Amino acid sequence: MTTNPDPAQRRILWVLVSAQVVGGIGNGAGIAVGALLIKDVSGSSGWAGMAVVMLTLGAAAFTIPLSSIAARTGRRPALTLGWMTGAAGAAIVVLGAELESLTAILGGLLLFGASTAANLQSRFAAVDRAEPGQIGRSLSIVVWSTTIGAVAGPNLTGPGAALAGSLGLPDLSGPVLFSATGFAIAGLLTFVLLRPDPLIHLADGPPAPRGIRTALPHVRGRTFTAVWAIGSSHAVMVAVMALTSVHMQDHGSALSVIGLTISLHIAGMYALSPVMGWLSDAWGADQTILLGQVILLLAVAVAGTSGHSDVQITVGLVLLGIGWSASVIAGAAKLTASLEPEHRPVVQGFSDLVMNLAGALGGLLAGIVVAISGFGTLNAAAAVLTLPVIALVLSGRRVAAAV
């Protein structure tokens, strides 16, 4: 899995990978049907984008508390809490579907988002003990492991509907049952097996700083560029992905085709992550971020002009995932490498907060833009978000070259 000689680091990576696989099933299943479930209960496509909004707001709400717990007591309790809260949220979504309660579904999705916070912080747990030259690769291994579950999750819509039917529940709630189970298993794996804690090697130093205020002084220069690149790239990805299932359904695409498209999109996000991690270590984080922005531009051009073509929009969504992967993995590696170890947990948490808030805003605005002007306009607007990232990276490289 890795050339890192530290046996504790190898064990940590294996545990994180295992939790990500089963947790990824939960995330993939929820993403695939969340928008459709809200549309079904509310009777309005305009509400559909709120699924991703609530998921990302939930992730944002839990990011700082989980990072503070990690800084104070370690990664194991923080990640366990995130996964278990996500499981509780998924159970509430199922209950809301049965009761046809939009309020319960939205509240459940908010708690569901805690699993995303745990998922994101797992990648930073992977590099707590990593050697400097292994940061990108260690991080990307954990990101890659999400592929298996996340790709399988959206394709559980059929089996999920059958399971729900056998239990007398609405068909669309079935995949969310898989979410609850996957998150609970991920939480148990983390709680029982994540020993030693990835942050234990920092325990002998001074108390780790906690809270947003302690993070802000360190968000400057290279760190600022990394945070911006991660947040902007996530906003582009979420904005386009959030309305894809509704766009396809409105054009008559079958539920199985929609599930396959989302699966392939998620595969694009995670399957090539080891390549992106290697590129970040060997070629440079800045170059890899720029590559990601170019791919995102290509993605929105393809998706935005897809019309009724299921094949073209699927290609666009795959490219969207690949561009996200390059930008976010390289951004996270750049962020980690630019910080002293004692400041990493809280600044990493701040970065995830920005990332999730950007995603929530992207999902919220996506529904409004599509309702007013259509899916093509949404993709054009998403393209504009890549320009500041490109400018920041290029200006940073010029400054570094001049020093």
Q: How far is CA 16 from CA 21, 88, 189, 300, 316, in A?
A: 9, 21, 9, 32, 30
Inside any domain, residue 341: yes
Domain membership flag for residue 195: yes
Q: Is residue 1 part of a domain?
A: no
Minimal CA–CA distance to 264: which of 209, 313, 228, 231? 313
| Cβ burial, residue 207 (10 Å; 0-12/13-18/19+) | exposed
Q: What is the pLDDT of residue 206?
A: 47
Is the C-alpha dihedral spanning 333, 334, 338, 343 positive or negative?
negative
Name the DSSP class of 209: P
Mean pLDDT by 10 residues, the chain (403 residues): 67 93 82 80 76 84 89 92 97 94 94 93 88 84 80 74 89 89 96 89 51 75 94 95 84 81 86 92 94 98 92 96 96 91 83 88 86 92 96 80 47
Does residue 2 sit within a domain? no
Q: Would you mind telling me the total number of residues written for the chain in this entry?
A: 403
pLDDT at 174: 87
Q: What is the DSSP letter of 24?
A: H
Sign of CA dihedral 80, 86, 88, 94: negative
Q: Which pLDDT score is estimated for 403?
A: 39
pLDDT score, position 46: 67
Residue 17 sits in a domain of what CATH number?
1.20.1250.20
Sign of the alpha-carbon torsion through 151, 184, 127, 359:
positive
Q: Are 347 and 218 in contact (CB under 8 A)?
A: yes
Residue range of the domain that includes 308: 7-402
- Please indicate, yes or no, if residue 163 is contained in any of the structural domains: yes
pLDDT for residue 344: 83
Closest CA to 361 of 10, 128, 57: 57
Number of structural domains in the chain? 1
**Which H or E run contains 18?**
helix 7-42
Q: What is the pTM of this model?
A: 0.78
